[in-house]
Amino acid sequence: MTDIDIAIVGAGFGGLGAAIRLRQAGFTDFLLFDAGEDVGGTWRDNTYPGCACDVPSHLYSFSFARNPDWSNTFSGQAEIWAYLRRCADDFGLRPHLRFRHLVREAVWDGAAQRWRIETSGGAYTARVLISAAGPLSDPSIPDIPGIEAFQGTVFHSARWRHDVDLTGRQVAVIGTGASAVQFVPQIQPLVGRLTLFQRTPAWIMHRGARRISRAERFLYRHVPGAQRLVRTGLYWMRDGMGVGFLHPAVNRLASKISLRTLRRQVRDPELRAKLTPAYAMGCKRVLISNDYWPSLTNPNVRVEAAGIARIEPDGVVSADGVKHPADTIILGTGFHVTDAPIMRHIRGTDGRSLAETWTPSMYAHRGTTVPGFPNLFLLLGPNTGLGHTSVVLMIEAQLKLVVNALKHMRSRGIVAMEPTAEAQRDWSAEVDRKMAGTVWHTGCASWYLDASGRNTTIWPGFATSFRLKLRSFHPAEYAAVAPTLERRYADV
């Protein structure tokens, strides 16, 4: 059993950012556990053709580790992954990294006032647990009848099979979300036949990607403040786009622009009808692409909107009874967002897991801490997602709260603390109040909603308002937790 002060689960943007901020604040006794073989999280795992960020790179990166060398305004996976590996090196995190350490269980030990952590690489105890396991890290495999008997190749886009040559293949793609919109135009020219199974068409906007010139990169590297200025401009421009989600008139205008592009790019009225969303823009993630709709107009593509009845060994049968022959199925079916596995593995003061505590719906104070789970901080916890700008901004806001909380504990000699139930209730009530009536709540069924129909994913506002709310630590919202034995004696 190894004792450490702080355990961090995950080495993606969240875990790496936490480690960097902790070191800068003088907390040096920490380890990062990751189930994978390298840092990067999302950007290590998603290697599908065309994978790239959909928020400008100068904003989709740490404010404290700006990269003057981004080659494209929307960089590809390889470049983002390289950036995160560089962050791990430049900030001296390598000695703190423990790869192939899947965290199987983390249980609060009330007597010792520590987290007992079981990993596939050994057992640890830690005073503080930071979960940065990622909201989009566990691929969701649909439970379609017959899928296990399929005789061809099946894989999820987040676990792309680069050993499978798709040239000339009969490919069925299931799902039309953010990943499919990126990889479908890439594979369409290669494959023999592509059947795209669509449940709901996506709203799509223009993707203004362009190469960043050498002159610009020179400027960012050598002219003090130049890159900061660009980032600031992008910050306000992107956060301003949140207005579209909050104000129906702006939303309607954006929808008109999207539909005009669809009309221009897809001439066939039947195909266009299938691709036309019948719900308010923004209730699902708005996607950006210039080549997705055009790629679907090619003769080797069929968009199937009837739904899937079952999978047979050599094809997919749609709900209208038509069989679509396939030798390869690619699942673009998203991730376990509101039911991520880590929630079942973290157990608090009463022995219940986060998943149990969060049935039917998940709540966290300021999206980060949970009553009954002392010294636990969740990065990208409930209601911290964004549809319009970079979630790295949200992670950084949360890290401010984490560091301020830990500094407060250090200065007061507090070993363990948790948010009060009242503080958490007030916070969640405010989130729900802000959410009510927005397009995220009323617009459609989406992966933003949990099984109870509550939106537990999205922050119902601007990134700026979240950052302001997490800027300072409010000690009155937290209570110190006494060791279990002492509490028991006090009760007697």
Ligand X SMILES: Cc1cc2nc3c(=O)[nH]c(=O)nc-3n(C[C@H](O)[C@H](O)[C@H](O)COP(=O)(O)OP(=O)(O)OC[C@H]3O[C@@H](n4cnc5c(N)ncnc54)[C@H](O)[C@@H]3O)c2cc1C
Under the binding rule (CB under 6 A), the answer on residue 139 touching ligand X is: no
User: Which phi and psi angles does 403 have, rounded to 5°?
Assistant: -65, -40
Which CB sits closer to ligand X, 179 or 333? Answer: 179
Binding segment for ligand X among 46-54, 287-295, 419-427, 440-448 (CB under 6 A)? 46-54
**Residue of 266, 342, 364, 397 that binds ligand X (CB under 6 A):** 342
Q: Which tokens sit at 201?
A: 């068409």
Count other Cβ atoms within 10 Å, centred on residue 487.
Answer: 13
| CB of residue 87 to ligand X, shortest distance in Å | 12
Q: What is the DSSP string of 306-320?
A: S-EEEEETTEEEETT
| CB of residue 139 to ligand X, shortest distance in Å | 9
Which CB sits closer to ligand X, 185 or 315? Answer: 185
Residue tagged 């189930």 (tokens): 35
**Residue of 378, 379, 402, 416 that binds ligand X (CB under 6 A):** 379
| CB of residue 399 to ligand X, shortest distance in Å | 11
Under the binding rule (CB under 6 A), the answer on residue 183 touching ligand X is: no
Under the binding rule (CB under 6 A), the answer on residue 60 touching ligand X is: yes
Under the binding rule (CB under 6 A), the answer on residue 245 touching ligand X is: no
Dihedral in degrees, nearest 10, Cα atoms 291, 294, 297, 301? 0
* Pick from 173, 178, 234: nearest CA to 205: 178
Under the binding rule (CB under 6 A), the answer on residue 32 touching ligand X is: no
Which CB sits closer to ligand X, 13 or 197? Answer: 13
User: Residue type for 80, please?
Assistant: I
Rounded (10°) angle between helices 391-412 and 13-24: 40
* Pick from 167, 108, 152: nearest CA to 418: 108
Binding segment for ligand X among 126-134, 208-216, 350-358, 424-432 (CB under 6 A)? 126-134
109 beta partners: 114
Under the binding rule (CB under 6 A), the answer on residue 34 touching ligand X is: yes
Count other Cβ atoms within 10 Å, centred on residue 444.
Answer: 18
Under the binding rule (CB under 6 A), the answer on residue 331 touching ligand X is: no
Binding segment for ligand X among 12-20, 91-99, 194-202, 415-423 (CB under 6 A)? 12-20
Q: How far is CA 388 from the centre of its chain?
A: 13
Is residue 150 within 8 A of residue 313, CB to CB? The reply is: yes
Under the binding rule (CB under 6 A), the answer on residue 53 touching ligand X is: yes
Contacts of 294 (CB under 8 A, 6+ apart): 185, 265, 266
Under the binding rule (CB under 6 A), the answer on residue 450 touching ligand X is: no
Q: Which tokens sit at 410?
A: 């250090």
Under the binding rule (CB under 6 A), the answer on residue 154 touching ligand X is: no
Binding segment for ligand X among 54-62, 85-93, 122-130, 220-228 (CB under 6 A)? 54-62
Dihedral in degrees, nearest 10, Cα atoms 446, 448, 449, 451? 90
Under the binding rule (CB under 6 A), the answer on residue 51 touching ligand X is: yes
Under the binding rule (CB under 6 A), the answer on residue 54 touching ligand X is: yes
Cα gap 435→423, rounded to integer Å: 18
CA distances from 193 to 174, 180, 309 (A): 14, 16, 20
| CB of residue 46 to ligand X, shortest distance in Å | 4
Q: Characterise 307 by phi-psi region: left (phi > 0), alpha (psi -120 to 50), beta (else).
A: left
Which CB sits closer to ligand X, 41 or 152? Answer: 41
Under the binding rule (CB under 6 A), the answer on residue 368 touching ligand X is: no
**Residue of 4, 6, 8, 9 that binds ligand X (CB under 6 A):** 9
Under the binding rule (CB under 6 A), the answer on residue 378 touching ligand X is: no
**Site map 65..104 versus ligand X, x via CB under 6 A:** -------------------------------------xx-
Binding segment for ligand X among 49-57, 240-248, 416-424, 460-468 (CB under 6 A)? 49-57
**Residue of 4, 7, 93, 132 that binds ligand X (CB under 6 A):** 132
Contacts of 42 (CB under 8 A, 6+ apart): 12, 13, 134, 136, 137
Mark out the alpha helices in 369-438 (DSSP H runs): 391-412, 421-435
Which residues form the interface with ligand X (CB under 6 A)? 9-15, 33-36, 41-42, 46, 51, 53-55, 60, 102-103, 132-134, 136-137, 179, 342, 379-380, 390-391
